Amino acid sequence: MRLVAAMSGGVDSAVAAARAVEAGHDVTGVHLALSRNPRSYRSGARGCCSIEDSGDARRAADTLGIPFYVWDMSQEFADEVVDDFVAEYEAGRTPNPCLRCNEKIKFAAVLDRALALGFDGVVTGHYAQVREGADGVVEMHRAHDAAKDQSYVLGVLTQDQLSRSHFPLGDSVKPEVRAEAERRGLQVASKPDSHDICFVADGDNAGWLAEKIGPRPGVVVDEDGAVLREHEGAYAYTIGQRRGLRLGVPADDGKPRFVLDIEPVSGTVTVGPREQLRVDALEGFKPLWCGAAPVGRLECTVQLRAHGAEHRAVVEVLDDDTVRVDLLDPAEGIAPGQACVIYDGTRVVGSATITRTHRAAPTA
């Protein structure tokens, strides 16, 4: 097969490309230019789309002896990921830009361009597994390495995208991948993993949003509505947040307070005790299914954060745009805008964007 290898400049994508070559595929390496000014994005070892990363990707392709190109996806990235990130925070929600990037850039725009150029699919360094089920449906499963599993941020992929996606690292653990890169002479063998949001150059999300949105004064209140302090923008807060609240006045019981709710129009941020963060049900909007949509009530598990725990749940499709999730294991600090990814065992069933949560009754 003719495959495009999406090469980020890290060790995972380099080894994934190497394995595709070794498997006999005709592989072309591609690095995505996601900013018209790459220096404005995170640089150095913590990045995933910086100038340094582009150079590392090119050197890896040279070592493998495959063609290499840089594809300019900066406009698509700005429109679909960066602008969406800002808009979601303005609306009081908490988005996951990496999941959005996979949906709109890496497995939509890139795959579409690859197919238009005559390629058969895309190879990436994601830790997930693709298998063909007994009914011929292509299934995505969790990676063998639970600590590196990235199926959560891939839960937006459709059946057509999965059928053209290759994840050669799905059955590996990270130390094996680094050792293999060393054996193959890839200079990125010991390069640290990327973290945080690539387009927030210094890692200060609140400061970055303040520059983009500007001041939006509001107040922080307790559960009774008493004003505790003023703030310059509700976008600096996320549900479940404890640190950085700077409330000054301690709670009556002396216990820490957490962000319970964000009202974006008035800019009101409500704080309260941790037990008020417990959620036992939620609704999700615009579900995306990796195969057929479930029928009836599906007993399953759900993951609500990229590195979060699984929760036993029952999922019901209410209509084409809405799913209801009853959590048998309540979760804490779940915010609208986050993704709910649904699993049947290790298989990814699909995902939806959380629009509403139901607070669990206080425990005795």
Q: How far apart are CA 140 and CA 345, in angstroms?
A: 11
3-state secondary structure of 285: strand
- CA-CA distance, 150 to 156, in Å (whole number)? 12
Give the per-residue pLDDT at 48.
Answer: 54
Indicate the DSSP class of residue 169: T
- In this prediction, the residues of the chain whose per-residue pLDDT falls under 50 are 40-47
Q: % helix / strand / coil in the chain, to the nearest 5?
A: 30, 30, 40
Q: Using CA atoms, how far apart are residues 149 and 129, in angstroms rounded to an integer?
A: 9
pLDDT of the residue at 155: 93
Whether 126 contacts 169, CB under 8 Å: yes
Q: Which of 171, 162, 168, 169 is nearest to 140 (CA)?
A: 162
Write the pLDDT tens digit of every residue in 253-303: 888 999 999 998 899 999 999 999 999 999 999 999 998 889 989 999 999
Written out in words, the top-level CATH class of the domain with range 277-359 is mainly beta
Q: Mapping DSSP to helix (H, G, I), strand (E, B) and coil, where does residue 278 land?
A: strand
pLDDT at residue 49 in the model: 59
Which residues are CB-contacts of 128 (< 8 A; sequence separation ≥ 6)?
140, 141, 142, 143, 149, 150, 151, 154, 167, 170, 348
Please check whether residue 104 is in contact with residue 144, taking contact to mean a CB–CB distance below 8 angstroms.
no
Paired tokens of 242: 């404890």
Helix (H) or strand (E) holding 259: strand 258-263
Report the pLDDT value the prediction gives residue 133, as an integer from 0 to 100.
81
| pLDDT for res 45 | 39
Token digits of residue 172: 């590996």
pLDDT at residue 37, as a whole number: 59
The total of other beta-carbon atoms located within 10 Å of residue 73's CB is: 24
pLDDT in tens, 23-64: 999 999 999 988 765 554 444 434 455 678 889 999 999 999
CATH architecture assignment, domain 2-183 = 3-Layer(aba) Sandwich (3.40)
Which positions are catalytic?
101, 198
The pLDDT score that the predictor gives to residue 92 is 86
List the chain domain ranges: 2-183, 215-272, 277-359
Assess contact for 286 and 321: CB atoms under 8 A. Answer: yes
- pLDDT at residue 134, rounded to an integer: 78
Q: For residues 220-236, b (16+ Cβ closer than 10 Å) or e, as one string? A: bbbeeeeebeebebbbb
pTM above 0.85, yes or no: yes
CB atoms within 10 A of CB 311: 20
**How many helices, marked H, and strands, marked E, lie in the chain?**
9, 17
Which pLDDT score, from 0 to 100, does residue 299 have?
Answer: 97
Which position has the token pair 């994934």?
16
CATH topology of domain 215-272: SH3 type barrels. (2.30.30)
Q: Report the pLDDT value the prediction gives residue 195, as an integer from 0 to 100.
A: 65
